[in-house]
Amino acid sequence: MRLAALRKKNWLILHDVDSLCDVPGTHQMDPDLFTSDYWRERGLIVGEAPGRGNSLFLQATPKEQWALRAYRRGGMVAKISEKRYLWAGAERTRAFRELRLTSALFEQGLPVPRPVASCVTRYGFCYEAAIITVRIEGAQALAERLIKDSVNETLLQQVGLMIKRFHQVGLDHVDLNARNILVDSSDTPWLIDFDRCRLRAPGKWKANNLDRLARSLEKLKVGSAIHSIKTGYTN
């Protein structure tokens, strides 16, 4: 995967050269590409996922769909500014950091969406941002599968094994929950949403990740699932 950056006026785009380019007939590298209006005007929005920022699913090409997610704040700070963040340089923006991390994980063969591009638009001391990744075909959130009672012991153990693989390379997923774990049509689990995540040396954060996942399962009234997940994790 070859990442390249393009800068014009007050915006910057970091993109996978093989996914996004300026060749005529393709989606052009422009900030509009990272807005819902661009895709809605072309009738290319095919769905959306719940959550802060509401990821949109896009029919980017006849054979490939993308997921577009704008960065949104949560909690009390969102009342001050829902979508603007303090500028501290392009490489320190959440969008650039997430795209580079996702690319690094993808290059290691881990089950993550293929990154396409991220865009940062600067407004003085602040910026807004969005990220695009390839949509995982036929995938559902683990949360949905659990609510529908369409999981089994084998799948839950596979989820635990997947988490272990990420921990082995040092990924601290700060928002590990049942909605950030996807399961595709062949029951293969995937991990998504690496905003604010990072690679770290081994430590207590691994247990904290699993505890956070356990709390999300409890909120869904399926707290017992964590036992099977941990079995897969420790095997």
For the question of residue 175 being annotated catalytic, the response is: yes
Three-state SS for the chain is: CCEEEEEECCEEEEEECCCCCCCCCCCCCCHHHHCHHHHHHCCCEEEECCCCCCCEEEEEECCEEEEEEECCCCCHHHHCCCCCEECCCHHHCHHHHHHHHHHHHHHCCCCCCCEEEEEEEEECCEEEEEEEEECCCCCEEHHHHHHCCCCCHHHHHHHHHHHHHHHHCCEECCCCCCCCEEECCCCCEEECCCCCCEECCCCCHHHHHHHHHHHHHHHCCCCCHHHHHHHHHHC
Q: Work out whether the CA dihedral 11, 17, 20, 23 comes out positive or negative.
A: positive
Phi-psi domain of 60 (left: phi exceeds 0; alpha: psi -120 through 50; beta: other): alpha
Among residues 18, 149, 175, 195, the one annotated as catalytic is 175
Active site residues: 175
